[in-house]
Each structure stands twice: as structure tokens, then as C-alpha cells.
Amino acid sequence: MPKALNMVIPGSSWKCGAFMISLLVLLSTTPDMTSAAGDKVVCYYASWAHYRTGAARYTVDDVPVELCTHAIYAFAVLDADSLVAREHDAYLDKAAGLDNYRRFVTLRERNPQAKMLLGLGGWTDSRSDKYSRLVSEPQRRAAFVSHVVSFLQEYGFDGLDLDWEYPGYQSSPQDREGFRLWVEELRAAFSPHGLLLTAAVSAGRDVIDRGYDVPAVAEALDQIHLMSYDFHGSW
């Protein structure tokens, strides 16, 4: 299991709150994606920060990709009817609007070593039963897997980061097994295309126990991004 330090970079020049860096120290079988020390710097871009005003506005061009080994665009979402991945915000993400998916991918021109991934899910997108419905049926998982390979290739992403928050959390206890199968089937489909498969997962023990078959999931994923934040607050 990787160790992760999640940081939000402060200061007006970084437009705090729109950009998160996770510094991960990992045992990796992919040395081409690591620094000499084996560290990974995983950067998440929250696309909705585009709509902020003044100094808080944060666009794709503001992402300091030079600091990242991996950059993740948050998010794509799961379509509630077809249960396949789709753009979250048509204006931001699609070519008919700002085309931010493709603009994000072209950030690799500033850092050719960076891997550009698409995040799927997020807290809001996980608030329904659609992920449970997806992973509960082999045919639905197969349709998702087939579609998402084409979806990633269409935009030029290097892989997918799963951010279902969380399997088995206020949903079916069968999610744990469904999530394992989903990850393993994605792994089998991604490997021939050289696509990366990662996941953002809970650091809470009760959520881990309910939602993740840790040995199996860890075997199938290229990286695990441990969400080790929000352990203290008004709650």
C-alpha cells in the first residue's frame, strides 16, 4: 500500500483550493513513470474552479504540470441511464465549448514525462446508486469497459483514475466484490493499450473494510491514491 501526503498549495499565485498535489512514495513496477527516488507527484485539477471569479479563478493553463509526474482532470461522470463515462460539464469539457479535456492533455507539451489521466466520479457523482448498478452486472461492466477505452483514446488521456466515493458506503454490501471485478476487468482491457489504471480510495478503516478487497485491488491498479485529508473539522 502506498504512503501518500495530500497537500493543497497555498498562496495567491497558486489560487488555493483548485489544485491538489499528492506526493506518493510507491513501490512501482513502472520505473519510466518515477523519479530517481521513486516518488510520484500526483496533481488533481478541479475543473469547476474555472467558474470562480477574481484571484480564485483557476484554469487548465494554471496547472503547474512541470511539478507533476501524473496530472488528473476531475472529473468525468457516470451517465445515469447508459452507465458509461461521459463529460461532466459540456461547456468546459467538450470541443463545442472550451475543449478542456484536450487542452489538459496538451499540457504534456510543457512536461513530456507527465502522465495525463481522467478522473471518474467524485463525491457528488457518487451520491446515487448508479455505481452500484454498474458493478453489479457483468454486462454493464463490460459495456463500460469497452466504452471507456475508446473515450480515453478519443481525448488522448493516458489512463483513468477511479474516484467512486465509496463502494459499500451507504449502498450495497455487494459493492466490494463488484468493485474488485470492475477493477480487474478494466486492468485486462487497459493493458494492451498501455493505459494506466489508478484509484482514489478512502483512508478510513471502516470504509476500507466495507468497500475494498485490498490485495486484489492493489494487484490490479498501477497506483493507489489515498485520500488522507478531512480527518478533522466541524464534525
Count Cα atoms within 13 angstroms, Cβ side, for 45: 28
Rounded-to-integer distance, Cα 194 and Cα 189, Å: 9
Q: How far apart are CA 160 and CA 167, in angstroms?
A: 17
Strand partners, 152: none
The distance from CA 190 to its chain's CA centroid, rounded to whole angstroms, is 15
- Please say whether the beta carbons of 115 and 196 come within 8 A: yes
The x, y and z cell numbers of residue 69, run together, are 509526474
Give the three cell numbers for residue 203: 483512508
User: Measuring CA to CA, which residue among 74, 167, 156 is closest to residue 122?
Assistant: 74
The answer to whether residue 154 is catalytic is no
**Is the peptide bond between 75 and the residue preceding it cis, with omega within 30 degrees of 0?**
yes
C-alpha cell at 42: 500526483
Nearest residue to 60 via CA among 70, 161, 71, 69: 71
Q: Which of 109, 137, 165, 184 is catalytic?
A: 165
**Active-site residue set:** 165
